Amino acid sequence: MKMVGTQVAAARTARNMTQKRLGELVRLDAESIASIEQGRRALMPHVAELMDQHLNLPGMLTAAALGMPERDANPPWSEEYMDLEKRAITLNWFEAMVIPGVLQTETYMRALFRCRVPAFLSEEIEDLTVRRLARTEILRRKHPPSLTFVISETGLRDRIGGDAVHAEQVRHLLGCMEFPHVTVQVLPLGQTYHPALSGSFTMVETPEHEHVGYFEGQRGSKLVTDPDDVSILAQRYAMLRTQALNPDETRGLLERLGE
C-alpha cells in the first residue's frame, strides 16, 4: 500500500496537481488522497481507473490496485466502508441474521467470531474484537450521526454464545435505545412479504451528502456507489421500516426477551 501510495503521489506531483484537485476529480476528499499516498488506505480499483485517466497514466495504478495482495483482516471494500462509517452523518442498517456490529457487546462479538468455520485462531479473534469494539464508539461521539436499525427477529431469537451472553446483549440493546440519536426496530417473524430477502445491508450518508450502500456475503463485500443501486436499497429500507415494530413495540419485545 505504501509503494502504490508513493506512485500516486509521484504521478500527481508530475502533473502539478494538489491533493484537493485530484480528490475532486476522483470523487474523494483531500484527506482520503493523503491517506492513499501515505499507505494508510487501500487504493480501490474504481478510484485507480479514474486516477489513471486524470493523471494520464497507461493503466498503471489500476494494475497495481487489482494486484494488491489480500493480507489484511478486512478486505479492501470493507476498509473503505469502515472509513465511511467513521465519517457518517446518517447510518441506516438492516440486519437479517445477527445483531448489527456497532450494537454488539464484547462477549457477543467473541461468540460470533467463534462460530466461524474454519475456526479463527485465538489471536485473530482478539484482533477482530478490538477492531469491532472501536467501531462502537460511533454511539458515543460528541456529535454522533443519526443511527437507525431494523433487526430481523431471527437475530434476536438465536442465542449465540448461550443464555448469559444473549441476556446481556438484549439489555445492551435496550440501553442503546436510550440514546436520542439511535432508533431500533425489530422486523417480526411470520412476514408474508419481505423486500430484503437478498440479505443484510447498510446505507451511509457522508458529510458531503453522498449516499453509499454496503453489503457483505459469504466470501466478500461490496460498496454500492451507483445512484440507481443506492436508490433501490433506500426503497427496500423504507419498506422494511414500515413492516417493523415501532420503537415502543420493539422495546416491549426486548423487555419480554430479557425476562
What is the full per-residue pLDDT of the chain (259 aa) written as tens digits? 889 999 999 999 999 999 999 999 998 888 889 889 988 778 888 899 999 999 999 999 999 988 876 544 455 557 778 888 989 999 999 999 999 999 999 999 999 999 999 999 988 999 899 989 999 999 999 899 999 999 999 999 999 999 999 999 999 999 999 999 999 999 999 999 999 999 999 999 999 999 999 998 776 778 888 999 999 999 999 999 999 999 999 999 999 998 8
- Burial of 6-21, coded b for 16+ CB within 10 Å and e otherwise, reads ebbbebbeeeebebee
In one-letter notation, the amino acid at residue 252 is: G
Strand partners, 224: 213
- For helices 2-14 and 30-37, give the axis angle rounded to 10 degrees: 120
Are β-strands 146-152 and 90-95 bridged in parallel, bridged antiparallel, or unpaired? parallel
- Where helices occur in the chain by DSSP H, the ranges are 2-14, 19-26, 30-37, 45-54, 60-66, 76-87, 106-114, 122-135, 153-157, 163-176, 227-243, 247-258
Give the separation between CA 259 and CA 249, rounded to whole angstroms. Answer: 16
Strands of the 211-216 sheet, one edge to the other: 182-187, 146-152, 90-95, 201-205, 211-216, 221-224
Helix (H) or strand (E) segment spanning residue 223 = strand 221-224
